Chains A and B, each alone.
Chain A
Amino acid sequence: MTVAGTRSRARGSDVGSGSSSAGPQLLGSAVFLLSAVGLAYQIALMRVLSVAQWHHFAYMIISVAMLGFAVSGTALALARRWVTGREATLFRVTATLLPLALVGCYALSQRIGFETFELVSQPHQLWNLVALYLVLALPFALVSLCIALGFLLRPQRVGKVYFLTMAGSGVGALGVIVMLGAMGPEKIPYALSAIGAVALLMVGYDAGPRGRVLSGIGLLALGLLAATAGVQPIRVSSYKGLSYALQLPDARVVAQEVSPLSVLTAVESDLIRETPGQLSAYPMQRLGMLPEQTALYFDAGAVSPVHRFDGDLDRFAFLDYVTPALPYRLVERPRVLVIGAGGGTEVLNALAHEAEHVTAVEVEPNVFRLLGKELAEFSGGLYERPDVDPVVAEGRGYLEARPAARYDLIQISLLDSFNASAAGVHALSESYLYTREAVELYLSRLTSDGVLAITRWLSTPPRDAVKMIATMIEAAERAGLEPARHLVAVRSWNTATLALVRSPLTAAQVRSARAFASSRWLDLIIAPDLQPAEVNRFTVLEEPVYYDAARALLSSERSRFYRDNPFFVRPATDDRPHYARYFRWKTLPALRAVGVAGWGGFVEWGYVALVATLFQAAIAALALVLFPLWLFGRPPRGEARGGRGPVVVYFGALGLAYMFLEIAFIQKFMLLLDYPTYAVAVVLTGFLLFSGFGSLFADRRRQSSPRPLVRRAVLAIGGVSVLFLALLPPLFEGLSAWSDGIRIAASLCLLAPLAFAMGLPFPAGLQTVSGGSRWLVPWAWGWNGAASVVGAALATLLAVHLGFRIVVLLAIALYAAAAVSMPALQRAQATVIREGEPDPVWKGD
């Protein structure tokens, strides 16, 4: 770790004693630590909010809280006259408050009774949301205040401080993943607060008696706070599955495990019966009750049941009545791959259907641990059987890495909860499990007569299963199959199972599927020679919409069907992997017709949240950053008024472009790194760290003209990005078989040059501005911050509609625009203010 502050003239005795103060000696280390804490806090809060509510709201709230960064920069600039000379004191006070805020704001946020689902029916929930924003924004505002003060205290070493901020953030991103593996997300604010206290000690180290007293009091208050309040548990929304389960009279939490991916809670109750589908035809009196279940809740939401299992597979006859049993009518004694094995329902389904072998792939490592320990007896050692092979992996990555593997059946069933699916909260989460390319991959890993079976929830109006039919049809075509001869699908009242068979369906297979459907009171959606009379018999729809959709998709009407459908039902692709996005702007007017109350049922909450995030980020950026700048950011008397235009273009473009590339490549690298959480952490760390090195490099070269540097950086960014677009997919395929460590190292190596180049333009521009019209420095920071916050939401929205390729190309264009505006930026810096001079440029106070 770099220890900055060697140039400091300040010693303990001159704390806050005027403009000569250079702040704490260990300022650099403190900035580094505080940056790490800030980013770690952000990721930890996202996890907390994903458990408490749903993850899209987590993003929405955090994105606005992050505005704290831009806001505190503006605030400092506005109060510049007052701040001048007090930087060191302010830094110490802020560092003292931060550990308290980390703990206190978290605890307070968990006492606000916010409910996502009530936003539509209960307008007062809006105030709870606002309260959440404010409470969560405070720690971020404090972190960024510290960093901004760090820049003020080291005006000549902006690049170095910037590097420490970036490096600290990068270390924080990685560190919090390690922490999330060791403790629940609710404990992390407390751990981070302790790290904040270490930073506070560094700050107080050379602070003189009063400064030390201040740190002492801060630490004492922190201890008191932690001791009296204790760890505040996460307040889980009362509309989440775990909350419902815990209301059951005999409910008991038998175990809880945490990992960076999820909080896994096992609840035991005689009243838990999570068997989605239709058992109406199941002769319960003859074949017996369903076995007892223990429910596993992932982040208090999605549920996966564990069945009581004593080795007697006859007790699982009921699994032959739900839709995922369909593929077992098409294969005999199969070797099965279950993706998303969870509590083991599909594994038991396979065993009950005499599967020869089951490979159970599960992304959450704690599932197997739980079933091997606390639930070992209950689950009858399901995952220890010789014919079951448990694998901790992400399904797509697992198959990608095994080109030689072949299965008779690949089964993917209902991986998200019904509520989440029906409310469309996943609309902006990308899933590489359900893209057209993924289905092609699954097909290629099947034996010659193997089956791919995917089960989805039915949504009203129909969209989810329709999109999966479209995906399977398009994937089959690309694999050279004639879809109509390879597809068979059934639906119950709330689920649909679609089976895609590698070789054309035989007459015997079709007969067997028909018999299965009618004996289980299920309706066929698609099958060779399907007659209209047999598609709407058991769960009668007003129109046989699924059958109609399948027919349209199999005919030459397909593109018209896509175009005219009120929902977006085109298959997801690796470039646009947002499977759960159905929303189309053109159907918005039609939504008005169903009224406010009906409206809630037809809207994808994830999408609404994304658009709302963009809007509120834009409004907040305007109100809190750009408007104050416009109002108070005037040049000092005698200095030219010009120069704002190039600053706005240059720094605004950089802010947008940086976020565009960062978000696009986080998504892309998810394909290589499998685990989304790890991908985010590794890619984020890589970006921040190497960009930090970039800015350090720019800082070292601050004597020479920044123009050629920026030009070269932008050329490098454009070149590498375009290369990435072309080469990443084959490269990832080649790398997929390697171990985690090698893939992470490879990702970092790939990202290093790009991120390094991306780190250059900002400090180079800032040096230019601060070497000239220094009143423009807040403009640079403000526009960059505002553009970053807006850019994060905008990048996701653009990716949903246009795909990641376009987002990357847009980013390149923005970088080019920045490079082009560089000469104008330089020309505008007419006057040079001599070093060390007081800087009375702010008329606001």
Chain B
Amino acid sequence: MRIPNLATVFAFCLLLATGPVAAVPEPRALPHPDSPARQQEPDRYSDARARMVREQIASSGWGREAVRDRRVLEAMRRVPRHRFVPEALTDHAYADRPLPIGYGQTISQPYIVAAMTELLQMEPGDRVLEIGTGSGYQAAVLAALTDSVFSIEIVAQLAAEAAVRLRKLGYVVSARQGDGYFGWSEHAPFDAIVVTAAASHIPPPLVEQLAPGGRMVIPVGPPLQVQSLVLVEKKADGSVTQRSLMPVRFVPLTRSG
């Protein structure tokens, strides 16, 4: 008769109890994108970035309309997106998809960032407020277009990391940790507001802090799946309209109208 090796049983128990995957921290924090090694490296992704703009953003197709605003395209070509994603995902930074940045937050897919920025119709010198800094990528793109960018993030760790990252990369963004619902009244009104965080309703204080002629953009959809963009416009007379836009089109629907 054979009785299994006791050591095997105990090894099994130990494996179960401690396990090789026990090192996963909670809540999930991804490796810091600004490790010294990455600071030094030359921008070996400039080709990937140019290709991203050419193939994903500036050309129609794949059920989407091309982004045409030259300044937005230039900003997308310049901002090093790979510096804003977790280190493990650096090689996917320029792929046509959103990426997780930890804490259940995401960095939107490049096309969505460009499309949202284009919708804001920013002029140099415009005051822009971002709700939901996340990795700071959208803020960097905004900062490439104007020198007056304000950004609020509720998750303290993300806020701190993004502020450091933006500063290191030389983007001028006033970033703080806090509750975006009430906007940033000290710096209001804003010519443009971009909300990247989930909201059950569009916060009335944000509509209030929108300058006459100002525009606000909010993506709608579950994490990693933007389904539509809502554009809120405040007319010169203070009246407000909203437009619901589909950034990525589902072909048969548009055909049948």
Contact = CB atoms under 8 A, between A and B. Distances in A.
B24 interface: yes
Contacts of B224: 117-118, 120-121, 239, 600
Interface string B102-117: 1110000101000000
Interface in A746-778: none
B50 interface: no
Interface stretch (A272-280, A473-481, A794-802, A834-842): A272-280
B240 A521 contact: yes
23 contacts: A96-B9, A107-B17, A108-B21, A121-B100, A218-B9, A221-B10, A224-B13, A235-B26, A244-B104, A418-B200, A422-B225, A460-B220, A494-B201, A540-B241, A542-B245, A593-B62, A594-B251, A595-B96, A596-B96, A597-B111, A598-B248, A601-B226, A601-B227
Interface residues of A, number: 91
Nearest to B1: A16
Interface in B18-35: 19, 21-22, 24, 26-28
A831 interface: no
A93 B200 contact: no
Interface string A96-112: 11001101110110011
A107 B98 contact: no
A598 B62 contact: yes
A748 B204 CA distance: 55
A24 B166 CA distance: 69
Contacts of B225: 117, 422-423, 600-601
Nearest to A246: B27
B202 A493 contact: yes
A743 B21 CA distance: 47
A590 interface: yes
B104 A243 contact: yes
Contacts of A2: none
A442 B62 CA distance: 44
Interface in A225-240: 225, 228-229, 235, 237-240
Contacts of A590: 250-252
Interface string A576-605: 000000000001001101111110111000
B200 A541 contact: no
B6 interface: yes
Interface in A196-218: 210, 214, 217-218
Interface in A533-550: 537-543, 548
Contacts of B51: none
From A104, A248, A282, residue with most partner B Cβ within 10 Å: A104
A566 interface: yes
A695 to B, nearest CB: 32
Interface of A: 15-17, 86, 89, 93, 96-97, 100-101, 103-105, 107-108, 111-113, 115, 117-118, 120-122, 131, 210, 214, 217-218, 221, 224-225, 228-229, 235, 237-240, 243-244, 247-249, 270-271, 273-280, 282, 284-285, 322, 418-419, 422-423, 459-461, 493-494, 521, 537-543, 548, 564-566, 587, 590-591, 593-598, 600-602
A342 to B, nearest CB: 14
Contact of B22 (A111, A239, A548): A111
Contact of A422 (B177, B199, B221): B221
Size band of the interface chain B makes with A: 35 or more
A247 B177 CA distance: 13
B179 interface: yes
A37 B64 CA distance: 53
B50 to A, nearest CB: 19
Given A89-B1, A422-B222, A595-B96, A243 B62 contact: no
A419 B222 contact: yes
Highest count of chain A CB atoms <10 Å: which of B156, B226, B248, B252? B252
A108 B18 CA distance: 8
A537 B154 CA distance: 33
B209 to A, nearest CB: 12
Contacts of B16: 100-101, 103-105, 107-108, 225, 229
Contact of A108 (B19, B64, B96, B243): B19
A459 to B, nearest CB: 7
Contact of B250 (A239, A423, A461): A461
B222 A117 contact: yes
B250 A277 contact: no
Given A460-B246, A601-B221, A100 B13 contact: yes
B174 to A, nearest CB: 20
Contacts of B222: 117, 239, 418-419, 422-423
A115 B230 contact: no
Given A221-B10, A460-B221, A17 B1 contact: yes
A461 to B, nearest CB: 5
Contacts of A218: 9
B251 A593 contact: yes
Contacts of B15: 104
A280 B232 contact: yes
